[in-house]
């Protein structure tokens, strides 16, 4: 991978707005994603993170603004929720090849990449939540995407499971060079994996490198008290890995208004 | 007349052939109806049958054509309402089903010249089908089967998860619209033979029976057709020997198979 290719822009979202039932869900959002880059959308529940991801992906049409993707680009998607009817008999192999033409060799490869080669003939109805996230990633990888859209890929996992999923996502970026747009509301693990973070609450509150975001007053306003709890929980395991965010900066008393 | 003699009469053969056409298509179509949780959709279309028969009579068309037109109009109306209204799908379906049935009954009163066998309409008349019916049901089900096979892959991907399939570039809207057309077509063609009250049973019961035995989506579809055929043969035999209503016997037989599939142990 050359340095010139890594600056190539894959996705650009310009001043998009999205309204439903008179309510503004997204307002004047700008977003850009390059090759070999992980951009993370963080924000509280109802901030419009998943909506923005779906707009960037082309599943929803914005009321105004533009979405531009490199033409002919392959995309992969890991949705937040999957609700497969238990009456539908489906193995993992079948599930990941539903809309792909792939050889057994390809299927084995992506499952190995995702760390679950042994699940190839398992029924999807018996998977644990951690296995599901890996199966969904494997399905996305099978399409050899240049753009990957992940909606809370570590939801419902314990801390070591989250660690493993984010390590896998970083490895995907490093080996395939694809651009990754990620939605999350768990903060710390995400921070370490991201090249850039967009803090969203219907509008963009702040944006920048993870270490910058942590010190932004707007970020602290949104995540002040919540983050304090996260740190108390994660500190003993993760401080040595990601010494990016100082504990004191998330104290509720440091609230300030942006703009 | 013994069963062997009965088997040599043409009406029995027509009934078997007509039933076979229905069993072949209701298997694969029914598994999608089960997977997509659309059982009540089939029922709604069936409820509109009476209105379709009246419309056919009014326009001077065959009853099947009338039913087909009304089924398609209902499917389109449902899609329209689902996009506009904030009511749940089952509420909209209930609204449409009973409105269509009521309209059909009202229309029937005004069509004094229409000779109408309500019992045959409700419960079907498997043993009374003629060559024209046979032509309808075989062309309807072979067209439906061919189209279903053609859209199988995108439809299955859309059924498992629509947004995931769309994100991967699958033309889900087209496949799903086509599927709705197929359901309408099959219900219109099969209605006269099995009746409005029992057509949904043939879509649902063999598919539900196959679920426990199936290892893949296609396996489940083939099994459902096979179970439908067995139910047809068993029901016909019962009807001829015990003099029970044919379509009702077929559905009863399908239910017995369902119960049996739950009793026998299955290794998975």
Identity of the residue in B165, B169, B217 whose CB atom sits nearest the CB atom of A89:
B217
Quick one: pLDDT at residue A6? 52
ipTM score: 0.85
**Band of residue B267 on the pLDDT scale cut at 50, 70, 90:** low
CA nearest A82 in B: which residue?
Answer: B161
* Residue B266, in any domain of the structure: no
Cβ–Cβ gap B216/A100 under 8 Å: no
Residue A154 in contact with residue A133, Cβ under 8 Å?
A: yes
Sheet strands side by side (includes A38-42)? A75-78, A147-151, A179-184, A38-42, A196-201, A203-208
Closest C-alpha among A191, A147, A153, A210 to residue A173: A147
| Residue B56 lies inside a defined structural domain of this protein | yes
pLDDT tens profile A162-174: 888 888 898 889 8
Residue B208 domain flag: yes
pTM for this model (two decimals): 0.85
Predicted confidence band at B248 (pLDDT cuts at 50, 70, 90)? confident
User: CB distance A88–B160 less than 8 Å?
Assistant: yes
Q: Which two tokens stand for residue B230?
A: 């067995």
Q: Number of residue pairs across A and B with CB atoms under 8 Å? A: 68
B249 is a domain residue: yes
Which residues in chain A touch residue B34, judged by CB atoms under 8 angstroms apart?
85, 87
- Domain boundaries in chain A? 3-74+145-254
CATH number at residue B49: 1.10.3470.10
Q: Looking at the domain assignment, is residue B226 inside a domain?
A: yes
Residue A216 in this model has a pLDDT that exceeds 80:
no
pLDDT of B99 reads 95
Residue B78 lies in a domain: yes
Q: Which of B28, B167, B174, B175 to mutate to test the interface with A (most CBs of A within 10 A)?
A: B167
B180-203 mean pLDDT:
87
Give the DSSP letter of residue B113: T
Cα(B39)–Cα(A217) distance, rounded to whole angstroms? 54
B199 pLDDT band, cuts 50/70/90, is confident
Among A89, A99, A149, the residue with its CB nearest the CB of B220 is: A89
Does B174 lie at the interface with A, CB-CB under 8 angstroms? no
Domain holding B172, by residue range, is 3-260
In a domain, B76, yes or no: yes
Q: Is the CB of A98 less than 8 angstroms away from the CB of B160? A: yes
**A57 touches B: beta carbon within 8 Å:** yes
Considering its fold, how many domains does chain B have in total?
Answer: 1
Residues of A in contact with B154 (CB under 8 A): 99
pLDDT value of position B268:
52
Q: Sheet containing A23-34: which strands, arranged edge to edge?
A: A23-34, A9-20, A64-69
The pLDDT tens digits of the residues spanning A53-73 come to 999 999 999 999 999 998 888
- C-alpha A79/C-alpha A137 separation (Å) is 10
- Topology of domain A3-74+145-254, CATH: Rossmann fold (3.40.50)
| Beta-bridge partners for A197 | A40, A208
Asked, for residue B58, whether it belongs to a domain, the answer is yes
- pLDDT, one tens digit per residue, over B110-134 is 887 777 777 777 888 888 888 888 9
Residue A156, chain B, CB below 8 Å: the answer is no
- In 3D, which of A3, A68, A4, A64 has the Cα closest to residue A31? A68
Chain B residues whose CB is inside 8 A of the A59 CB are: 163, 166-167
């Amino acid at each position: 991978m050359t340095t010139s290719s890594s600056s190539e822009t894959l996705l650009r979202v310009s001043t998009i707005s999205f309204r439903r039932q008179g309510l503004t869900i997204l307002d004047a959002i700008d977003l850009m994603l390059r090759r070999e880059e992980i951009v993370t959308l963080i924000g509280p529940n109802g901030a419009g993170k998943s909506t923005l991801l779906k707009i960037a992906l082309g599943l929803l049409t914005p009321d105004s603004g533009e979405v531009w993707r490199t033409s002919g680009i392959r995309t992969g998607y890991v949705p937040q929720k999957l609700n497969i009817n238990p009456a539908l008999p489906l193995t993992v192999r079948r599930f990941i090849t539903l809309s792909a033409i792939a050889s057994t060799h390809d299927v084995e490869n992506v499952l190995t990449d995702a760390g679950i080669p042994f699940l190839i003939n398992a029924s999807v109805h018996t998977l644990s939540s951690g296995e599901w996230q890996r199966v969904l990633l494997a399905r996305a990888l099978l399409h050899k995407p240049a753009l990957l859209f992940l909606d809370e890929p570590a939801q419902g996992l314990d801390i070591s499971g989250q660690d493993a999923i984010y390590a896998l996502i970083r490895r995907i970026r490093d080996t395939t060079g694809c651009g990754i747009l990620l939605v999350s509301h768990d903060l710390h693990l995400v921070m370490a994996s991201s090249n850039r973070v967009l803090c969203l609450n219907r509008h963009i509150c702040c944006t920048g490198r993870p270490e910058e975001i942590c010190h932004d007053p707007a970020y602290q306003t949104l995540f002040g008290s919540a983050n304090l709890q996260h740190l108390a929980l994660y500190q003993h395991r993760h401080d040595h890995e990601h010494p990016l965010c100082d504990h004191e900066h998330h104290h509720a008393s440091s609230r300030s208004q942006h703009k | 007349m013994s069963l062997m003699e009965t088997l040599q009469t043409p009406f029995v053969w027509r009934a078997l052939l007509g039933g076979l056409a229905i069993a072949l298509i209701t298997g694969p179509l029914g598994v999608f109806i089960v997977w997509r949780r659309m059982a009540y959709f089939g029922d709604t279309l069936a409820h509109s049958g009476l209105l379709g028969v009246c419309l056919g009579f009014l326009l001077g068309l065959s009853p099947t054509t009338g039913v087909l037109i009304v089924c398609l109009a209902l499917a389109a109306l449902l899609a329209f309402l689902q996009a506009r209204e904030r009511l749940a799908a089952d509420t909209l379906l209930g609204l449409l089903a009973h409105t269509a049935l009521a309209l059909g009954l009202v229309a029937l009163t005004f069509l004094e010249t229409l000779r109408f066998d309500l019992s045959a309409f409700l419960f079907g008349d498997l043993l009374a089908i003629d060559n024209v019916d046979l032509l309808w049901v075989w062309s309807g089900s072979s067209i439906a089967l061919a189209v279903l096979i053609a859209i199988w892959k995108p439809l299955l991907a859309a059924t498992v998860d629509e947004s995931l399939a769309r994100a991967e570039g699958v033309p889900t809207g087209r496949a799903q619209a086509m599927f709705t057309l197929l359901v309408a077509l099959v219900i219109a063609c099969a209605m006269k033979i099995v009746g409005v009250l029992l057509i949904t049973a043939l879509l649902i019961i063999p598919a539900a029976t196959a679920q426990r035995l199936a290892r893949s989506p296609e396996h489940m579809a083939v099994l459902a057709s096979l179970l439908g055929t067995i139910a047809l043969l068993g029901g016909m035999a019962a009807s001829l020997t015990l003099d029970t209503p044919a379509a009702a016997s077929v559905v009863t037989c399908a239910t017995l198979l369902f119960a049996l599939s739950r009793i026998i142990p299955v290794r998975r």
